[in-house]
Amino acid sequence: MGGDFLKMRNIGKDRIGGDEMVAPGRPPQGRARKAPGSVRIIAGRFRGSRLPVPDLPGLRPTSDRVRETLFNWLQHDLPEARVLDLFAGSGALGFEAASRGASRVLMVERAPELAAALRASAERLQARSVEVRCADALDPATLGAGECFDGAFIDPPFAAGLWQPAIARILPHLAPRAWLYLESARGVEPVLPAEWSLHREGRTREVRHALYRRGA
């Protein structure tokens, strides 16, 4: 979320956090977009604060429009919540949750340089509820056996097809009445077990964003 790019599971696309990076020499899917340089925290304690977004090809933070919609859906769920941001990338989702009162936000980020940037932002904002874990989101050792969360964000690289393994990885760590946010390419709808219900859904030209609830 310069230097050598990180390869993940031979997918032909470089992976940095919750955002996407197209491999050198490979045309991007869909319309190319330039990284914005920074993203703004929309509301809460850190309202108006900027998070840096590296100027790298294809880096894709969740847009302001989608984030505003999502956090309107979650406005009553975030105070004192324990939140997991599984592919943290730029940190736009995790820091927004912390800003709006989450008691704990665990950001998982595989790229060391982005994990360091997330830690620097947490220190600058004095976001004491934020923990950054530099690790592979799908590694069974990344989450401890006793860790439990009230909600989670899953926004993996679209071309990698990681929604189903990511969902399977974190479901044992979600509370009985948890919520789960999934962001995917517009035509992709990941499948969840029967106890999960679609609560809210939206689409932009390129993205499907959906909020699910367990036991709803």
Report the CATH number at residue 40. 3.40.50.150
Residue 1 lies in a domain: no
Domain boundaries, position 144? 14-214
pLDDT(32) > 80: no
Mean pLDDT check: name the lowest of 56-60, 61-65, 137-141, 171-175. 56-60
The number of domains in the chain is: 1
Residue 147 lies in a domain: yes
Please list the residues that pair with 83 across neighbouring strands.
105, 151
pLDDT, residue 111, reads 85
Residue 64 lies in a domain: yes
pLDDT(20) > 70: no
Residue 106 lies in a domain: yes
Backbone angles phi, psi at 196, to 5 degrees: -100, 135
Q: Output the pTM of the full model.
A: 0.81
Residue 148 lies in a domain: yes
The type of residue at 202 is G
Under a CB-based contact definition with an 8 Å cutoff, are residues 135 and 169 in contact? no
Mapping DSSP to helix (H, G, I), strand (E, B) and coil, where does residue 78 land?
coil
Cα separation, 163 vs 170, whole angstroms: 11
pLDDT, residue 8, reads 35
**CA–centroid distance for 61 within its chain:** 9
pLDDT, residue 11, reads 34
Under a CB-based contact definition with an 8 Å cutoff, are residues 7 and 183 in contact? no
